[in-house]
């Protein structure tokens, strides 16, 4: 059974998740502009702190689904999760997100992104082609590539060629 989150608490959780995701983006952009050891350490510290905060939220209130905290905050939680340094936590949340997606409480692309992330981290082929190798700028290996765009369409993602074109254009 899911814990009940009162509206005021849901709003506070939403603000905190968005604030933390924004901070991650800010320190990451700063590190790209000035790639120093200090900047890399700030990213690591930010992501570690964000992951600990998200673990606390999940432990107390379950996965912050879009129906509870709103779509922007649920997406912020996903970003925090994708940057978390703890694969075991990511795997546990992947299962929570899968259930929330099946129940209609979380957008299907959220499950696609965390499922692919976990597959790549485990050395397995991904399902939806959302993870791109930064060294080659090509997707990591994909399970059953012939039906990839069908799976992507099923979860509301554009065809892989469109995603890759957007990435090349910086979008």
Q: Is residue 49 part of a domain?
A: yes
Q: Is residue 22 part of a domain?
A: yes
Q: Is residue 147 part of a domain?
A: no
Cα distances (angstroms) measured from residue 91 to each of 8, 36, 119, 128: 29, 31, 9, 17
Write down the pLDDT at residue 1: 63
Write down the pLDDT at residue 4: 78
Write down the pLDDT at residue 79: 98
CA angle 115, 154, 137 (to 5 degrees): 55
Q: Is residue 86 part of a domain?
A: yes
String of DSSP letters for 101-127: HHTTSS-HHHHHHHHHHHHHHTT--BS
Q: Is residue 168 part of a domain?
A: no
Q: Is residue 110 part of a domain?
A: no
Q: How far apart are CA 113 and CA 119, in angstroms?
A: 10
Q: Is residue 76 part of a domain?
A: yes
**Helix, coil or strand: residue 139:** strand
Q: Which domain holds residue 14?
A: 7-90
Q: Is residue 39 part of a domain?
A: yes
Write down the pLDDT at residue 12: 97
* Tens of pLDDT, residue by residue, the chain (171 residues): 667 789 999 999 999 999 999 999 999 999 999 999 999 999 999 999 999 999 999 999 999 999 999 999 999 999 999 999 999 999 999 999 999 999 999 999 999 999 999 999 999 999 999 999 989 999 999 999 999 999 999 999 999 999 999 988 875
**Predicted TM-score (pTM) of this structure:** 0.94
Domain count, the chain: 1
Write down the pLDDT at residue 171: 54
């Amino acid at each position: 059974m899911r814990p009940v989150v009162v509206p005021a608490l849901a709003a506070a959780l939403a603000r905190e998740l968005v604030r933390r995701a924004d901070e991650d983006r800010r320190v990451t952009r700063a590190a790209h502009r000035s790639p120093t050891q200090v900047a890399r350490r700030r990213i690591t510290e930010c992501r570690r702190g964000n992951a600990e905060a998200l673990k606390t939220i999940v432990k107390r209130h379950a996965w912050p689904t879009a129906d509870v905290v709103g779509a922007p905050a649920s997406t912020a939680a996903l970003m925090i999760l994708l940057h978390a340094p703890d694969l075991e936590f990511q795997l546990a949340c992947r299962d929570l997100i899968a259930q929330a997606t099946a129940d209609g409480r979380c957008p299907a692309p959220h499950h696609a992104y965390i499922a692919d992330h976990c597959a790549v981290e485990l050395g397995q082929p991904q399902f939806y082609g959302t993870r791109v190798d930064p060294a080659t700028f090509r997707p990591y290996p994909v399970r059953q590539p012939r039906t990839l765009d069908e799976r992507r369409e099923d979860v509301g993602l554009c065809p892989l060629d469109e995603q890759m074109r957007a990435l090349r254009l910086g979008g």
